[in-house]
Amino acid sequence: MSQTTQFRVLDFDCPTCASVVERALESTEGVESAAVHYTTGRVEITYDENAAEPATLERTIENQGYTPQPA
């Protein structure tokens, strides 16, 4: 079953930073789609709850060098 979660990332320096996070999330197992908005810092992720957890998605953002916050 699909779930959607949101984070806010306020330390993007440029649109490329947002693209890097979006690609990393989309390559994470269980992620069906990811939308990262550079101007607002909003990150919306749709994922299969049987294959991924919000904590895993949060770590994926952190591993790219950014700080996710609950939205």
Please state the pTM of the whole predicted model. 0.94
Return the pLDDT at 35.
98
Return the pLDDT at 60.
98
Going by their DSSP bridges, the two strands 42-48 and 68-70 should be labelled as unpaired
State the pLDDT confidence band at 41, using cuts at 50, 70 and 90.
very high
State the pLDDT confidence band at 49, using cuts at 50, 70 and 90.
very high
Tens-place pLDDT, residues 11-40: 999 999 999 999 999 999 999 999 999 999
